[in-house]
Amino acid sequence: MDPIKDLYNEYSFELNSIDKIVFGETYVAVILENGFIGLSANLMNIKDFKRAELNNLDFTDSCHRNVLNAYYNAMLNNVEQEFVYIDIFDFINFSDYSNIIMTGFSKPMYKKLKSENIKLTIFDESIQPEENNLITSQAKQEEYLADADMVILTSTSLMNNTFCDILKYTNSGCDIFLFGASTLMSQHMFKYSKVKGLFGTVFKPGDKQILNIVAEGHGHRYLKKHGKKVALIRK
Residues in Cβ contact with 32 at an 8 Å cutoff, skipping those fewer than 6 apart: 17, 18, 19, 71, 74, 75
How distant, in Å, are the alpha carbons of 34, 114, 117, 168, 214 from that of 143? 45, 23, 24, 12, 37
Predicted TM-score (pTM) above 0.75: yes
Residue positions counted in the chain: 235
pLDDT, average across residues 65-84: 87
* pLDDT tens track for 7-38: 999 999 999 999 999 999 999 999 999 999 99
Q: How far apart are CA 223 and CA 162, in angstroms?
A: 26
Per DSSP, the residues of 10-58 read HH---GGGEEEEEE-SSEEEEEETTS-EEEEE-TT------GGGGGS--
Give the model's confidence band at 80: pLDDT under 50 very low, under 70 low, under 90 confident, else very high. Answer: low
Are 86 and 229 a contacting pair, CB within 8 Å? yes
Cα(9)–Cα(17) distance, integer angstroms? 17
Q: What would the pLDDT profile of 166-217 be if each residue is shown by its tens digit?
A: 999 999 999 999 999 889 988 889 999 999 999 998 998 999 999 999 999 9
